[in-house]
A and B are shown apart, each in its own frame.
Chain A
Amino acid sequence: MSTVLLIFCILSAITLATAFLTIFTKQPIHSAIYLVLCFVSVAGHYLLFNAQFLAVVHIIVYSGAIMILFLFTVMLMNLNKEDEVHKPRVTRLAAGIIFILTSLVLLAVFIQTKPIVGPYDETGVDYQSIKVLGQVLLNEYMVPFEFASVLLLVAMIGAVLLSKREKTEKN
């Protein structure tokens, strides 16, 4: 087993285990911490692909911004209680069955089609450095890039409006 494959296996084990722990831990704050670990291991996968730009952006956006939002929400609402009621047993059983079926069906579809995976030919052309990504982003995807800024602005305004306390209802 080569070193790269070993690294991949360890990273995948961390990713899957922390994803499961995110769902199964009782306290929301522990879930958030496990989710950070999951995101960091996904960033490790990106580094394994040598996609440095995406790895850094992934760390900044997910482990930075999104997790701060989650942690702030959990702490703001004082939700860190362990007395959450479980769903009824039938629902949990159905959730488990759906988990097994989804993964089995998707894996079986992939295995049964027997895709021909050709050898990975390396052209030697640089395709994922920041320079090339920036050129693709600002030439071909200029309009979506601008619309992304509009989307973020609208999301910001919407978040402020939604979470603002309404004066007429509260006292």
Chain B
Amino acid sequence: MGNILNEIGIENYIFLSVILFSIGVFGVLYRRNAIIVFMSIEIMLNAVNLLFVAFSTYHQDAQGQVFVFFSMAVAAAEVAVGLAIVVSIFRNLGSIDLDNLKNLKG
């Protein structure tokens, strides 16, 4: 089971990651719900992590996987703080519609 990239090919993983990342970008632009926007950001992070692991296997190097480990830690911290901000926005405005956050508009 070692030669997985011989059977699948690194380019297939690149295509998959690119499409997954684009879906994340699309979700950030398409929805108004702040929680769905957060989920789209998670999808983007996952696409990048997947490519990291693919190239780590391609180069037979453990450092890519260690980097993915750190990236997961940062993602967990980011989600915790982000959802806390969403909760506080909901307390102040009564909704989490992103288009309602116009306080800084000149």
Contacts and interface: CB of A to CB of B under 8 A. Distances in A.
Nearest to B20: A19
A50 B2 contact: yes
A49 B53 contact: yes
B95 to A, nearest CB: 9
Contact of A77 (B66, B69, B90): B90
Contacts of B101: none
Query: What class of interface size applies to chain A in its complex with B?
Result: 35 or more
B56 to A, nearest CB: 7
Given A137-B69, A159-B84, A22 B39 contact: yes
Contacts, number: 222
A171 interface: no
B8 A50 contact: no
B60 interface: yes
Contacts of A151: 73-74, 77
Given A22-B43, A98-B25, A99-B22, A51 B53 contact: yes
Interface of A: 2, 4-5, 8, 12, 15-16, 19-20, 22-23, 28, 31-32, 35, 38-39, 42, 45-46, 48-51, 53-54, 57-58, 61-62, 65-66, 69-70, 73-74, 76-77, 79, 84-87, 91-92, 94-96, 98-99, 102-103, 106-107, 110, 117, 119-120, 122-125, 127-128, 132-133, 136-137, 140-141, 144-145, 148, 151-152, 154-156, 158-163, 165, 170
Query: Ordered nearest first, which 7 A-B pairs have the shortest CB separation?
Result: A155-B77, A99-B26, A95-B29, A162-B84, A103-B22, A23-B27, A159-B84
